[in-house]
Chains A and B, each alone.
Chain A
């Protein structure tokens, strides 16, 4: 694929993880480290994006991701506009490009976009003025690059060296943009063994080609792994005959402390949130000292600050 997020190897937009170099990812991590250091030194705000306008354009409902982007932008001193497009112009029949062009006319410098259509962020990046940056905050089943980056950043924080790790991603792989971004990021960073664990109905076609080993048995899949990354099971999956019930799903694919015991003793447990306790994860596991779910959220802000500030520096 022609990678429109790069120009001469330099990041112009962040649309997906695929096609990024290890060097770019590490540059983002290093920048995120520096923001964490500021935070630790009680510096709440920098003026890196002072005078810039960032528009959070959410064509799909989201509270958590939008909020973390907003916090990140405000910590960089940018002006933030939140636009929930699903309830505004689109419902009046305006095309996605017309909406964007109107906002460009209002001198936005960056768009953070969430859309339920795969490739929507690519579409927008392809059609807007080159000086305006686009960050994909989740498009369909395709990509959620900042989530993929923050998850890899969290693993780096706790495990240091990617090259010795066995990592399991568990749950609805088929419909998960988070899983795709995690897989891409971990592959680029050199993780030697990435496992994906799901029933056949939630496993995407040709998943091996993404560079993973598929498992349909959770007990086998989590054996000896260093990281377990859980995915949220959306309720509508039950309605489309993908799984018979929450109860059966929990019995076969729910992460219990007994199953965690099959993994390496120093294994960490991650979840992008929001969690369904008792569906994909047992409460005692979610609250255990192996869980790094809340640090993920904090790292998410640092990663988003890093992405936004790096992009705004690029001409």
Chain B
């Protein structure tokens, strides 16, 4: 199929927005950015780019597809559809599934099933240890060959430090990246909120911030010694960012992301026991949030992840600590990025680079080049579309969205391999 997208603004690979571009796509390839001839080809579909922004390769480094494990409610179809509707074309999903993604056949099967729904780039993380039990290393090379993009323990840290050290050594052997969500097991177990006066007042068991800090110090020490590339997921505490900045200054091979939830909400939102704010890591203080914004500006934070986690309504209709943590965010991810840019007065190009250029680089060790890239994936974001996410307007199986306000802007089209696979 051929497409001509006329008068569109384009977020390019230099992190700049090029205005009023005409983009011609043929055979899955962007052929001419400045295509402005009269188009007489009747097979070429013309898309009006007015009020739209082309955002290439949105890459989400932390999400949960809950597959395998919940096939009985067709969850994969709904989550892939939600990702596409959110313009997310690189979906990195966690291995905390049932069974755990620790076998090459499971990785292959997930990718194949997803591609039958949409030709989306599902990039699963495989478990670092078998069954995420923290005891025996998984077959990392086999898993990588089967399609795993990296290795993660999801929310289950390796408690035995000797196993952790072996994981670092083994990953280094093959040049694999470990994607680690820093959380010290004993300090974080059975906790549900940031340990603070708010949790105290509400009587909720608090997660001590040292749970994150101690684990990061451990990972950075091992990375420094062994040289393993590590990516730290869903950073939430300001002290963590200070440590990561220092490590980056020492040229330790570390990158990190924050969950979009930490940018939007703070611990004050749990007041009233709204279980949609029951998240992992817990929402932290306004001070932490301010430091997160500062560290996005100064690039200590490399990426922003959706932390998409569909939760069945029944599992949210419970007292706070009994409810299942997580928020659905695939479809609201990009509109919320624009909202954050506006509310926090952060340049939108900075934020867009944190969801496309930078995470793409973390996965691929290189920048994508929009001009030369064949089979490029991208979405069109229409700033003129206002909508309120609701149970009926979103595709994800989890209707657990922690806000009810109107969003300005929505993904109108999604292209994968230069072919349109979604139109609102």
**Contact surface of A with B, Cβ cutoff 8 Å:** 1-2, 4, 18, 95-97, 115, 117-120, 122-123, 127, 139-143, 177, 180, 204-210
Contacts and interface: CB of A to CB of B under 8 A. Distances in A.
B212 to A, nearest CB: 15
B200 A119 contact: no
Contacts of B208: 205
A204 B206 CA distance: 9
6 interchain residue pairs of minimum CB distance? A142-B203, A206-B197, A118-B203, A209-B197, A141-B203, A119-B273
Interface in B214-244: none
Task: Report, as a range, how many residues of chain B touch the other chain.
Answer: 20 to 34
B53 to A, nearest CB: 37
Contacts of B205: 141
Nearest to B314: A95
Residue in B198, B271, B273, B314 whose Cβ sees the most chain A Cβ within 10 Å = B273
Contacts of A204: 200
Given A118-B321, A140-B321, A177 B195 contact: no
B314 A118 contact: no
B272 A122 contact: yes
A119 B202 contact: yes
Nearest to A123: B319
Contacts of B198: 206
Nearest to B315: A95
Contact of A117 (B196, B314, B320): B320
A244 to B, nearest CB: 18
A180 to B, nearest CB: 7
6 contacts: A96-B318, A117-B319, A119-B320, A123-B318, A139-B319, A141-B204
Nearest to B204: A118
A208 B321 CA distance: 24
B311 to A, nearest CB: 15
A140 B203 contact: yes
Contacts of B201: 18, 180, 209-210
A207 B197 contact: yes
A18 B273 CA distance: 14
Contacts of A96: 318-319
B203 A177 contact: yes
Contacts of A115: 319
A143 B201 CA distance: 9
A140 B204 CA distance: 8
A141 B203 CA distance: 4
Contact of A2 (B202, B204, B272): B272
B203 A143 contact: yes
Contacts of A141: 203-205
B196 A206 contact: yes
B117 interface: no
Contacts of B317: 95, 97, 127
B199 interface: yes
B197 A123 contact: no
A118 B278 CA distance: 13
A143 B203 CA distance: 7
Contacts of A208: 197
B297 interface: no
B322 interface: yes
Nearest to A119: B273
B203 A122 contact: no
B326 to A, nearest CB: 18
Contacts of B321: 117-119, 140
A205 B200 contact: yes
Contacts of A143: 203
B272 A1 contact: yes
B271 A210 contact: no
A204 B322 CA distance: 21
A117 B322 CA distance: 8
B203 A119 contact: yes
A95 B318 contact: yes
A142 B202 CA distance: 5
A205 B203 contact: no
Nearest to A140: B203
B203 A210 contact: no
B195 to A, nearest CB: 5
Contacts of B202: 118-119, 142
A123 B317 CA distance: 8
Interface string B318-335: 111110000000000000
B197 A210 contact: yes
B199 A205 contact: yes
A210 B272 contact: no
B191 to A, nearest CB: 11
Contacts of B197: 205-210
B272 A120 contact: no
Nearest to B199: A205
B414 to A, nearest CB: 37
B381 to A, nearest CB: 34
A96 B318 CA distance: 7
Interface string B169-188: 00000000000000000000
Residue of B203, B273, B320 with highest tally of chain A CB at under 10 A: B203
B319 A118 contact: yes
A118 B322 CA distance: 10
B200 A118 contact: no
Interface in B120-141: none
Contacts of B203: 118-119, 139-143, 177, 180
Contacts of B206: 205
Contacts of A4: 272
Interface string B265-300: 000000111000000000000000000000000000
Nearest to A122: B273
B204 A205 contact: no
Contacts of B320: 117-119, 123
A120 B200 CA distance: 16
A1 B271 contact: yes
Given A205-B195, A205-B196, 9 more contacts: A2-B272, A95-B314, A123-B319, A140-B204, A177-B203, A204-B200, A205-B197, A206-B197, A209-B200
A76 B173 CA distance: 76
Contacts of A142: 202-204
A156 to B, nearest CB: 24
Q: Which of B196, B197, B199, B319 has the most CB of A within 10 A?
A: B319
A206 B200 contact: yes
Contacts of A123: 273, 318-320
Nearest to B208: A205
